[in-house]
Amino acid sequence: MRNSKRLMLSLAGPALFLLCYLCIPEAAFGSRAACAAIGTVVWMAFWWITGAVDFAVTAFLPIAINAVFQITDMSAVTANYASETILLLLGASILTASWEETGLDHRIAAKFLSLVGSGLRQQVVFWYILCVILSAVLPNAVVCATMTPIAVSMLKYVGEKEISGSRIGSLLLLTIAYATGVGGLASPLGGAMNLVTVDYLEQVTGQEFMYAAWVIRFLPVMLVLVGSNVLFLLAGVGKDEELKGSKSYFREQYEALPPMNKEEKLSFALFVVATALSFTRQFYQAYLPELKPAYVFIICAIISFFITKENGERLLSWKNTQRRIVWDLIYVFAGGLALGTLINDSGVAARVGEMVAASDIKGEFTLVFVIVTLTMLISDVTSNTATAAVAMPVVISIVTGLGENPIPYIYIASIGVNLSYMLPTSIRAIPVGYGLEPRYMLKKGVPLTIITIVLMSLLSFAMLKLWPAFSTI
C-alpha cells in the first residue's frame, strides 16, 4: 500500500468516529458516550477491513477511546485483554510453538493429508463438519483455538505459508471460524449464550428445560445452516482444485519420516491432555471447579518449558517462544471483546432493543425477520452471550405485549444470537490472528449474512406456523 493511501485511510478512521460522535443525535441513544461507542465500532471496522494499520494496533482503540471519552469504567475494558479466553489462546499458542521446534507440525500435517486427501472441496467439507460436531458440545473458542493451528500447520506443509495471500488458506480458516459459530447452536452445551436462553425459557414457563428438547427443536435449523453454509463456501471451488500434492504423495511423505522422538511425543501429549481435559470438563468440574479450559492450557504450556532435548538443553525458552506466539491473534480477539464491552455498557445494545420494542411491528413474519436480523447484526459487534443477555428480555417483552406465546420467539432469537459472519470479533478474530484478511471475511460474510437472514426467517416462520412442538419446551 502506498504511503499516501495508507495515510488517507488512517485519517479516515478517526474522521468517521468524529462524524458518528458529533452527528448522531444524543437523544437517539441516550448519551454522548453511546455515540462514542458507535463511532468506535465504525472506526475499528474501517481500519480492520482496509488494513490501514496493523490489526493488533486497531485492537487497542477501545482503551484509547475510553480513556478520552469515558464511555464506561476502564477496568471493565482492560479486563478483556486478560480474560480467560485470552489465556486459553496464549496457552494454545505456546503449545503449538513446541510443534514447530520439534517438527511435530510437519508430522501432523503429513498424517492428516494422507488420511483426508488434498481435494479442496473435500477439505472444506471435512473441516466444516468436524468443527460443527466439536463446537456442539464444547466452547466455540476452544474448538477454534485448537483446530486453527492444526489447519495452519497443514497449509504451511503444502507451501501455503502466507495465509493473507492464499485463497486456499483463507477459505479453510474461514470455514473453521464459520463452522465453530454454527455448531454452537446445536446444543445448550455449545456456549454460554445458549444457557442464557435456557434460563429465560425456564423463567417464562416455570418448568425445567430438557437439553434433548433443544437438539430436536434446532435440528431442522442445523440441517439448513450446515447445508447452506457449505454450499456457499464451495461456490467457486473447482471439482479438481487441490492443495499441492496428492493423497498418495503425502502418505509416502509420512511413511518416510523417522520415528517420533521424545520431545515430539511430549509436545503432542501435552496438547492432547489440554484438549482432552477441556473437552471433558463436566466429569471433574465438581472436584476442580476452577480448572477451566483456559487454565488447563496455561498449566500445560508451563510444563512444556521443562521438556529437554537429548543433549540436555531445554526445548523451549521464552526468548524464542515469544517470537512464535501469534500476538495478533490474542490482541485482535481482546479488542473485539473490549468493543463489545463499550457497546453494552454504554447502553447502545439495550437502546436498539428498546427502539424495536417501541416500533409498531405488523405481522408475524415481520417480527421474525426483525428478531433474526437484529440479533445477528448485534452478535457481529459484541459477544454472543452479551447479545443473548440483551436480546432475550426485549424479545419476551415485545411478544408478550402482542399477546403471543414467547417460547418460539425465544428459539428464533437464539438462532441470530449464535450466528455472525462479517467482522473479526469473537471467535472470528482467531483466524485473523493467523493471517486471514478481515476484508476477505467481510467480502464473504456480507452475502452469507443476507442469505442466512432470509433462510432463517423463512424457516423460523414455517416452524412457527406448521410445527406445534416449536412452540413448547
pTM of the predicted model as reported, rounded to 2 decimal places: 0.76
pLDDT at 64 over 90: yes
Q: Which span out of 15-19, 90-94, 359-363, 419-423 was modeled with the highest average pLDDT? A: 15-19
Over residues 52-57, the mean pLDDT reads 86
CA atoms lying within 13 Å on the CB side of residue 409: 25
> At 60, is the pLDDT very low, low, confident or very high (cuts 50, 70, 90)?
very high
pLDDT of residue 1: 60
Q: State how far the Cα of 367 lies from the Cα of 376, in Å rounded to an integer.
A: 14
pLDDT at 403 over 70: yes
All cell numbers assigned to 310: 537429548
All cell numbers assigned to 251: 502418505
Over residues 252-266, the mean pLDDT reads 86
Over residues 393-399, the mean pLDDT reads 79
pLDDT of residue 158: 80
Residues in the chain, overall count? 473
pLDDT of residue 330: 81
**CA dihedral defined by 148, 152, 155, 157, rounded to 10 degrees?**
-130
pLDDT of residue 189: 66
**CA dihedral defined by 176, 181, 183, 186, rounded to 10 degrees?**
180
119 phi and psi angles, rounded to 5 deg: -60, 130
All cell numbers assigned to 270: 501435552
Higher pLDDT, 6 or 175: 175
User: How many other C-beta atoms can be found within 10 angstroms of the C-beta atom of residue 363?
Assistant: 9
Q: Which span out of 106-120, 155-169, 222-236 was modeled with the highest average pLDDT? A: 222-236
- Work out the percent of the chain whose per-residue pLDDT is above 90: 32
All cell numbers assigned to 6: 495508507
Q: State how far the Cα of 432 lies from the Cα of 191, in Å rounded to an integer.
A: 21
In angstroms, what CA-CA distances link 42 with 101, 209, 320, 334, 454? 40, 39, 37, 17, 25
Over residues 227-251, the mean pLDDT reads 84
Average pLDDT, the chain: 86
CA atoms lying within 13 Å on the CB side of residue 182: 29
Over residues 114-137, the mean pLDDT reads 85
Over residues 251-255, the mean pLDDT reads 81
Over residues 423-452, the mean pLDDT reads 90
pLDDT of residue 161: 79
pLDDT of residue 443: 92
pLDDT at 82 over 90: no
pLDDT of residue 212: 80
Q: Which of 64-73, 220-229, 362-371, 453-462 has the lowest mean pLDDT?
A: 362-371
pLDDT of residue 362: 67
Over residues 23-47, the mean pLDDT reads 89
Residue 242's DSSP bridge partners are: 119
pLDDT of residue 466: 93
In angstroms, what CA-CA distances link 175 with 94, 146, 401? 24, 14, 40
